[in-house]
Amino acid sequence: MTLIDQLPIFLIIFPVLAALLILAAGWYDRRFCYPVFLLTVLFQFLLSVFFLFMVMHGGEIRYYVGGWRPPLGIELVIDAFSGFVLATIMLLALATAIYAKKSIDLEIPHEKTVSFYVLFQLLIIGLVGMTVTGDVFNLYVFLEISSIAAYVLIASSRRSFSYVAAFNYLVLGSLAAGFILLGIGNLYVVTGTLNMGELAVFLLESYHLATVHSAFLLLIIGFSIKAAFFPLHLWLPDAYTEAPSAVTVLISTVMAKVSVYALIRFLFSVFTPSYIIETFPVTECILIISAIAIIAGAVLAIAQGDLKRLLAYSSVSQIGYIMFGIGVANQIALEGGLLHILGHALMKGCLFMVAGLIIYRMGTSKLSDMKGISQTMPISCAAFALAGASMIGIPPTIGFISKYYLVLGAFEAGLWIYAAVLLAGSLLAVCYIWRFIEIAYFAGAHDDHRVDNRSTGSREGPVSMLAPMLFLALLCLILGFYVEMVMEVIGPAADLLLGGA
């Protein structure tokens, strides 16, 4: 066996070692923590791109941990779908890692930075693990790793309310984990295996069993909580708002996406489209709830006076878009939903980065304090405008492309009303995005309260924060043009998921 064959496990093992190394380095000298962390994430990112490339050209990669074949051993599987999600989350993780340094120096108490980087690394490990594993129990383990890291990270900001937010999330997250574990247990009772591929085959004979139905429901509810799918999103607004900026960026983009990934995995790969459409028709239900999520999330977002909270509710709405694609469950809509995983990660990442930079620079996330801020922070506001346009779905951004696919899919399935809801949802997105745009750009050449740009100095912010933000914003636009490239990955992924239909 060559080293290349062993690469998949490096995706997990190497960062775990790195996490320990960060701890050791921090003991020696705090300054070494960040470089180690950054290099590890960079390594993981390059590896994920490499895997994506391999999968596109050579088919799926299977790796048996310790050489034990399933059902005894744990299997890592990188196929078109997980490869795509893996590359997406690592891209965002890398951007966040670059962005995090300055923001963390400011927002995290100095003595906590070492443990912060360790936990940050663990969070990423957990999420990567969830993405690549082919074993449902292993998935649960990684889920817990990432969740526990996330609880602590959310609580790590200087603001006291962050403890409440973290505790809320802890309660709901543990509940979710409990549901998921029960679901997995049920599946094991019925089939005697924990491997996803085998589960899919063995479950076929047991689709009529109540045990399977209950497992299915438990899993869906559990992952819906983790993904903040309306109305199970209650932990999300506080958690996103109170967490340190860099953590918000990571959990809003990467973590939420991985939960959605896991949900889709269970819906389409462990259970099959025939189960979720015919045996236990849940897609209709998902569709209705996602339509409500799109509208409700957006309406709640409009009502917020805090930029981070506004963006948090917008996430509730946007998760609805992704679930919409699942609910329609035809090729085109599912492609739209998957594309929105990437698209939403890019734009929400960028928007939260802007919010973080405004906090870094102005010390506030209240919209009312941001009048005329485009004068002081032109680059950030331009990035916000671009990513915001993508959120609304204005062509030619990536947000428009996914919206187009979703509407096209809904039309094709004859779901006219739902398509109308989707389009209306994008109008509501205009309302909340525009609240910031109006305040930042147009709030009063005639207003005395506007931010004074002379007193705050000339530099907008550190390059290490501006660059990833701008990069994500431009990616929203560029991928809108070169969407064909992305679709070459997403097409096979959607094929794969619907393959059993």
Q: Which residues contact other proteins by CB under 8 A? A: 332, 389, 394-396, 400-401, 404-405, 407-408, 411-412, 419-420, 423-424, 426-427, 430, 434, 438, 441-446, 481-484
Pick 189 or 303: Cβ nearer other proteins: 303
* Residue 329 CB, nearest approach to other proteins (Å): 18
Q: Is 488 exposed, middle or buried (CB count within 10 Å of its CB: 0-12, 13-18, 19+)?
A: exposed
Pick 258 or 440: Cβ nearer other proteins: 440
* Residue 422 CB, nearest approach to other proteins (Å): 10
Angle between helices 416-437 and 398-412 (to 10 degrees): 160
* Residue 434 CB, nearest approach to other proteins (Å): 7
Pick 184 or 294: Cβ nearer other proteins: 294
Q: Find all residues with CB under 8 Å of 61, minimum gap 6, and list them.
A: 8, 51, 54, 55, 76, 77, 78, 79
* Residue 430 CB, nearest approach to other proteins (Å): 6
* Residue 12 CB, nearest approach to other proteins (Å): 37
Rounded Cα distance between 225 and 175, Å, is 9
Do residues 71 and 193 lie in contact, with contact meaning Cβ atoms separated by under 8 Å?
yes
* Amino acid letter for position 175: L
Pick 210 or 445: Cβ nearer other proteins: 445
The pairing of strands 61-64 and 75-78 is antiparallel
Pick 119 or 298: Cβ nearer other proteins: 298
* Residue 481 CB, nearest approach to other proteins (Å): 6
Smallest CA-to-CA distance from 326 within 147, 497, 201 is with: 497
Smallest CA-to-CA distance from 224 within 186, 183, 191, 196 is with: 183
* Token pair belonging to 229: 């799918």
Q: Find all residues with CB under 8 Å of 348, minimum gap 6, and list them.
A: 252, 253, 311, 314, 315, 318, 387, 391
* Residue 478 CB, nearest approach to other proteins (Å): 11
* Amino acid letter for position 93: A
Q: Is 454 exposed, middle or buried (CB count within 10 Å of its CB: 0-12, 13-18, 19+)?
A: exposed
Pick 140 or 432: Cβ nearer other proteins: 432
Pick 5 or 438: Cβ nearer other proteins: 438
Pick 86 or 494: Cβ nearer other proteins: 494
* Residue 22 CB, nearest approach to other proteins (Å): 41
- The answer to whether the bond into 71 is cis (omega within 30° of 0) is yes
Pick 197 or 396: Cβ nearer other proteins: 396
Largest CA distance in the chain: 72
* Token pair belonging to 290: 């996602």
* Residue 374 CB, nearest approach to other proteins (Å): 9
* Token pair belonging to 472: 């994500």
Rounded Cα distance between 89 and 346, Å, is 10
* Residue 453 CB, nearest approach to other proteins (Å): 13
Q: Find all residues with CB under 8 Å of 466, minimum gap 6, and list them.
A: 357, 379, 380, 460
Query: In which region does residue 192 sit, left (phi positive, over 0), alpha (psi from -120 to 50) or beta (all else)?
Result: left
